[in-house]
Amino acid sequence: MAAERAVVSAGVVVADHLCAPIDRLPAPGELVKADELVLHIGGGACNAAMDLARLGVKSAVCGRVGDDIFGRFVSETLQGQGIDCSSLRIDPERATSQTLIVNVKGQDRRFIHSFGANEGFTIADLDAALDPRPRVVFIGYFLILPHLDGEALADRFRRLRAQGTLTVLDVACPGQSPDYLERLRPVLPHTDVFLPNTDEAALILGETDPIRQALAFRQLGARRVVITLGERGAISVSEELSVRLGTFPVEAVDATGGGDAFDAGYIVGLLEGRDEIGCLTLASAIGASCIRAVGATTGVFTRAEADAFLATHHLPIERIVIGG
């Protein structure tokens, strides 16, 4: 299978425990009924790979799990979708990462997380996944991987781009840290597409305006910057094009994985040679499809569903004049 894969999806691997939206949080000692409790895989590396599989793209997941039932669940779920797990390492010292995701109607999600085996991920894990060379390398949740060195990742991105591989980077920022920007500085000049959300960008830069956020990351070297804004759409800035995107109309049930689905849609656009508007439109549709169901990948369109949706729905796109 390795020879067939178009994408290496590397980084954070998680087993997610989710509830369908409940009316309210329980009081101490109280039981609140949920219509559904779901065990699903999560984390940027797994979510993107699962979404790519839904869209007909072969990929490999590169990351770490523990030698436990949740690690086996992750591996078996990925393999069941035809995803290459030969670079999914078993960490001998740590348990599989897990997240408890609590959905309350009308409120943003709440997360309780154990980082587990992700802590051990290093550049050596990524190196083991790069032969044969993929067409795209995607790093999910870079900034929360403590032992993935920025200088080392920059070196790998530089070499991959020289060989024709596209580099796509997403981040996660669990709180404020003075280290975020310094870890990103060496990597962004070798990044083809950088895809933070506006809250992450604010934590990295100390800047809340999404256009200024995108411009700052461009000045740091990223070729294309897409700042996702949730229900407010996205801002995309590159040398060729600057636009503000609206959103597609869908009923939001669970926003878990929406950003990762957006990333996967964008990657498919890159693989197909779409222009920036084409990549952004497909990404927006895939991101919108994700939030229709409980779970990080449950509601994501198949390729046929995405094509049918795009044939009947319009994405508002407004050109931005930088400095105008």
Answer whether residue 4 is part of any domain. no
Answer whether residue 30 is part of any domain. no
| Nearest one of 265, 261, 295, 293 to 280, comparing CA atoms | 265
Answer whether residue 324 is part of any domain. no
Answer whether residue 237 is part of any domain. yes
Answer whether residue 181 is part of any domain. yes
Do 322 and 297 form a contact (C-beta atoms < 8 A)?
Answer: no
Single pTM value for the model: 0.93
Domains of the chain: total? 1
Angle at 255 between CA 104 and CA 253, to 5 degrees: 60
Answer whether residue 5 is part of any domain. no
Range of the domain at 206: 10-25+36-319
Do 69 and 133 form a contact (C-beta atoms < 8 A)?
Answer: no
Predicted confidence pLDDT, tens digits, the chain (324 residues): 444 679 999 999 999 998 989 999 999 999 999 998 989 999 999 999 999 999 999 999 999 999 999 999 999 999 999 999 999 999 999 999 999 989 899 888 898 999 999 999 999 999 999 999 999 999 999 999 999 999 999 999 999 999 999 999 999 998 888 899 999 999 999 999 999 999 999 999 999 999 999 999 999 999 999 999 988 999 999 999 999 999 998 988 878 889 999 999 999 999 999 999 999 999 999 999 999 988 778 899 999 999 999 999 999 999 998 865
What are the C-alpha distances in Å from 194 to residues 124, 187, 190, 303? Answer: 22, 10, 10, 24
pLDDT tens for residues 26-66? 999 999 999 989 899 999 999 999 999 999 999 999 999 99
Answer whether residue 135 is part of any domain. yes
Answer whether residue 17 is part of any domain. yes
d(CA 223, CA 99): 33
Q: What is the pLDDT of residue 81?
A: 95
